[in-house]
Amino acid sequence: LLTAFPKKCREVDRASTALVLDLKQRGLLDDTLVLWGGEFGRTPMGQGSGRDHHILAFSVWLAGGGVRGGMSWGQTDELGYRYVDNDQAVDVHDLHATMLYLCGLDHLRLTYRYQGRDFRLTDVSGRVVKGILD
């Protein structure tokens, strides 16, 4: 993991930079939401082969499509283990609500009732993260 990590970072950096620059040059970035991340967090400490899940913190980046550029949102502790800024905490339901909003969909209208409980893609707790919007 440690020897391959720098090489993988360069590969990802080149590919993601090329995508965003290409969209911008073609005038498509403002109408395209780019999200780069994984489906779950990883612990910041190496766990053997790195195949561990981490539910206390995760990182993604977004570009274009109505997202304000050049900023970060949220903060973890000095180890990257858990978030420390409760005002800027974002869970996956908030991320989904924000993505849907940026795509022109109201996540609250995607609610259905099943066995006496409301369900939606963003669960009942999802909220749009307005602080990252352009």
Question: Which letter does DSSP use for residue 39 in this model?
Answer: S
Q: What pLDDT is recorded for position 39?
A: 67
Across 2-12, average pLDDT: 84
Q: What is the mean pLDDT of the chain?
A: 88
Q: Which of 60, 50, 53 is nearest to 2 (CA)?
A: 50
Percentage of residues in the chain having pLDDT higher than 90: 57
Count the neighbouring beta carbons within 10 Å of the beta carbon of residue 100: 20
pTM of the model: 0.83
The answer for residues whose C-beta is within 8 angstroms of residue 101's C-beta and 6 or more apart is: 107, 128
On the question of pLDDT at 55 being above 80, the answer is no
Domain that holds residue 73: 5-132
Residue pLDDT, tens place only, 40-54: 777 766 666 656 777
Provide the domain count of the chain. Answer: 1
Spell out the alpha helix ranges (H) of the chain.
5-25, 92-102
The residue that leads in pLDDT, 4 or 120, is 120
- Predicted confidence (pLDDT) per residue in 57-93, tens digit: 888 999 999 999 999 999 888 888 888 888 899 988 9
